[in-house]
Amino acid sequence: MEAEERPSKKLRLSEDDHVDQLVAKETSNALDSNVELGNEENDIVIDPQSEQTGYPDPMQDDVEDQVLSTQEAHNNDPTQPAKEINLPPPDETAPLIDTTNGSSEAPPMSKSQRKKLLKKQEWESKRGERKVIRKEKVVAKRERRKAERQQETEANGGVPLPPPVKKPKAQKPVTLPVTILIDCDFDDLMRDNERISLAAQITRSYSDNKNAMFRAHLAVCSFGGELLERFDSILTHYKSWRGVRFLDCDFVSAAEKAQEWMLDPEQGGTLAGSFSSFAGGDQEAQLKHESETVYLTSEAEETLTELRPYSTYIIGGLVDKNREKGICYKRARQRGVKTAKLPIGEFMEMQSRKVLATNHVNEIMLRWLECGDWGRAFMKVIPKRKGGKLKGEAQSDGREERAEAGMQEDSDDDGGGGGVELEEDDHDAAARTTE
C-alpha cells in the first residue's frame, strides 16, 4: 500500500508546484502590465523646482495631458498624422535667474570720483561746525573792537571819544523796465564742478542786482536738471529770494513773459538812471512798441551800443572752459533771436580772452544802467587778472614807457634824435586817439 500511495503523493506535490509557478507567472505579468500602464498614463515628471518644494509643477501636468491625449488619438486612428504639440515658451515653465540679488547696484566709481564723494560728505558733515566758527569770529571781532575803544578812551585821559559817524542811509533802489535773463539750458554740457560754478555765478548775479541802485528784472529760464537739484539740496535759501524769477521754459517763452511783467503799470518799473532821458511824452509809448530781445554772445557781428527800456537781454548760463564755442550764437540764430556783443573792443584793450563770466556780464549791464558809460562799467567789473585797460589810458601808458626809454637812450648816447622821435610818436598817438 505504501508503495502504491507514494507515487500519488509525489504526483500531488508536483501538481501543486506547477500551480504555484503559474500563479507566480500571472502575478509577474500583472505587475509588468501595471508598471507599463503607469509609465504611460500616471507617471509625473518632476522638475528641479518641484523636487525642492515637494509638489508637482501644474504647468508640466498640462503639457503631459496634452501629450497623452495626442498619443491616444493617434493609437485609435493610426492613419491620421500626429497632431503638433504647442509647448509654452521656456520663460513660462522655468523661473528666470535673478541677477540683481534683490538690489540695484550702482556702477563702480573711479578713484577720483570716490575722493570727490568723500570730500563732499566730509564738507556736509562739518556744516554745523563751520556755523559755530563763524559765530565765534563775530563775537571775537566785537570784543576786539570793544577793547580797542577802551584803550583809546584811556589814552585820551579817560574822556570817552565821540561815537563814530554813522553812514548816511542808502537811497532806495529803483527798478527799471529792463530784463536780464540767464539761460540755463546747458545742463547736459557741463561737469559737476562747472555746475557748482554756475550756481555760484547765479547767486552772485542775484546779489549784485539786489544791491544795485538801479535794478533790472532778473530771471533764470530752463531752470532744471542737476542744477536745480543743487539749489534744492544745497542752496535752499534761493526760494526766499525776492526780485528774481525761476522759470522752467526756454528763453523764447521767457522773453515773452518778460514783456508782460515789464509792461505792468505797478511792477514794471520807472524810467530812471540811464533811462531818464526816455521819460515823458510819446517817446515812452514808442519804446514799448520797439522793444527787442537780444542774446549776448561774443561771436555776434553786431555790437551793443546801449540798453533800451522794455527790452530783454539774454546771458548764456554756461561754464564749459570754451569747449562748446559758439553754441549760444547758434542756438539764438536757430530760434530767430537777435544777437549782439558788448563793446569791449571799442573801450578796452585786453591781454586775455574777451569772454566773461555770467555774473560779470550781469554786473556790467547794471553798472551801465547807473552811469550810462561803458568804459566806467568795464573798469569797475572786469577782473584785474585779465589785464584790461581803457584804450586812452593804455595809449598814455605806452607814451610814458617810450618817454622813459628815450630819456635813457639820450643819457647813453649824449643826445641824439630821440626827442624828435618821441614828438613824432606823440603826434601819431594823438592822431590815433582823434580817429
Total Cβ atoms within 10 A of residue 256 = 12
> How far is the C-alpha of 81 from the C-alpha of 105, rounded, in Å?
54
Q: How far apart are the two ends of the chain, measured CA to CA in Å? A: 168
> How far is the C-alpha of 236 from the C-alpha of 226, rounded, in Å?
14
If you compute the radius of gyration of the chain from its CA atoms, what whole number of angstroms results? 47
Of residues 320, 373, 397, 414, which has the active-site annotation? 320
Q: What angle separates helix 358-371 from helix 192-211, to the nearest 10 degrees?
A: 10
Is 91 known to be catalytic? Answer: no
Query: Which residues are CB-contacts of 253 (< 8 A; sequence separation ≥ 6)?
Result: 221, 247
> How far is the C-alpha of 179 from the C-alpha of 293, rounded, in Å?
9
Secondary structure of residue 181 in the 3-state scheme: strand
User: Concatenated DSSP letters for 98-124?
Assistant: -SSTTS-PPPPPPHHHHHHHHHHHHHH
Q: CA-CA-CA-CA torsion for 52, 54, 58, 61, nearest 10 degrees?
A: 100
Total Cβ atoms within 10 A of residue 57 = 18
> How far is the C-alpha of 363 from the C-alpha of 296, rounded, in Å?
14
291-313 b/e with 16+ CB inside 10 Å = b?
Answer: bebbbbbbebeeebeebbbbbbb
75-102 b/e with 16+ CB inside 10 Å = b?
Answer: eeeeeeeeeeeeeeeeeeeeeeeeeeee
CA atoms in the 13 A half-sphere facing the CB of 119? 6
Catalytically annotated residues = 320
